[in-house]
Structures are given as structure tokens and as C-alpha cells.
């Protein structure tokens, strides 16, 4: 017997300092991608975050695009948007697993990423999850990235570093002093 469980969502952060996201989207299934994008853009605007839209051919290219965009230093976070629908071959597993793994590895490197790549069995499931006025997984992915940006900013609080000792001192791994010197 199935039970109804209510989903709880943290309130989206609102930023006082400039915040910029890259919305990386694969328009392979254009109608689905457009709904994901609509939800993500609305979430960014509600949090006063700026965004750029970057399109890539498919879900497998999303992690690479994020890595390339991260090198620019222009973005505080990233939103991965796309859809993978199960087909007749094992390609579905490859795309789902590799895109997810790529995003996870980038996240562990410290990038704030919201994963809005839908992995579904059929088009009907994709439509339900993508609709900006429905489950709004694009908006949810943007809010997740915004939460991670807020968390990163919290942990980046500058703590004063202890001063280095004055005078001469040796650091671990320093070459030994020449003979006849102190």
C-alpha cells in the first residue's frame, strides 16, 4: 500500500551580494528543456541571482561544459538541465551514470551544482517532472545550486591566519644549511 509523503523544500536563499549562475542545458528534448529552463530562470530571479544560459548537445557534455565555465571564474554556481529517456539500448545507463558521476566529481571539487538532469522511463514522466508549473525540477535544481553557493560563502569566511615567526626559521622540507653556518 502506497502512502502519500509530503516533500519539504528549504526556502530559497536571497542574495545581497552579486550572484551569477551558469544554466547549462541540453536541448535534446527541446520541450522538456524549455520547461526546465523556465523553472530555473524563475528561481534565479526570485533569489536576485543573475544567470547565463549555455547550451550543449547532450547530457554527457554538461559536466564538461561546467568544468570549462568554471575556469573562467565568472560563476558562483551551475545548474545542469537536461533529460535522458530510456531507450532500447544500454546507452541510457551510460548517459545517466556518466553525467551524474561527472557532476558529483565537480561538486566534490567545490563547485556549487544543482542537478536538474531528468532520468526517466518515458516522455510522460519527463513532462510531469519538467513542468515549471508542476514538479518544477529545473527550479529545484537552481534552488539547490543557490543553497550550495550560500553554504560555500558561509564556509569561506576569512579567519585570520596566525603570523609567521619573526627572524630566521626553517620550514619542513627546506634544504639543510651549508656547513659552517647556523
Of the candidates 143, 131, 139, the one whose C-alpha atom is nearest the C-alpha of residue 11 is 143
Contacts of 178 (CB under 8 A, 6+ apart): none
Three-state DSSP at 120 gives strand
The answer to whether residue 17 is catalytic is no
Catalytic member of 7, 17, 91, 147: 91
Sign of the dihedral defined by the CA atoms of residues 150, 22, 139, 47, in that order = positive
Contacts of 120 (CB under 8 A, 6+ apart): 83, 84, 85, 86, 126, 129
Hey, which residues are catalytic here? 91
Amino acid at each position: 500500500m502506497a502512502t502519500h509523503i509530503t516533500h519539504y523544500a528549504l526556502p530559497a536563499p536571497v542574495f545581497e551580494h552579486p550572484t551569477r549562475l551558469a544554466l547549462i542545458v541540453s536541448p535534446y528534448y527541446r520541450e522538456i528543456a524549455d520547461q526546465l529552463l523556465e523553472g530555473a530562470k524563475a528561481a534565479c530571479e526570485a533569489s536576485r541571482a543573475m544567470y547565463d544560459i549555455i547550451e550543449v548537445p547532450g547530457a554527457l557534455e554538461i559536466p564538461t561544459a561546467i568544468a570549462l565555465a568554471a575556469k573562467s571564474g565568472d560563476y558562483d554556481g551551475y545548474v545542469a538541465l537536461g533529460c535522458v529517456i530510456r531507450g532500447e539500448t544500454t546507452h541510457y545507463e551510460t548517459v545517466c551514470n556518466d553525467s551524474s558521476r561527472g557532476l558529483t566529481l565537480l561538486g566534490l571539487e567545490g563547485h556549487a551544482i544543482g542537478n536538474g538532469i531528468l532520468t526517466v522511463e518515458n516522455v510522460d514522466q519527463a513532462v510531469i517532472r519538467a513542468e515549471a508549473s508542476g514538479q518544477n525540477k529545473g527550479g529545484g535544481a537552481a534552488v539547490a545550486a543557490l543553497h550550495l553557493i550560500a553554504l560555500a560563502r558561509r564556509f569561506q569566511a576569512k579567519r585570520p591566519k596566525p603570523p609567521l615567526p619573526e627572524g630566521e626559521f626553517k620550514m619542513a622540507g627546506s634544504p639543510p644549511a651549508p656547513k659552517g653556518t647556523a
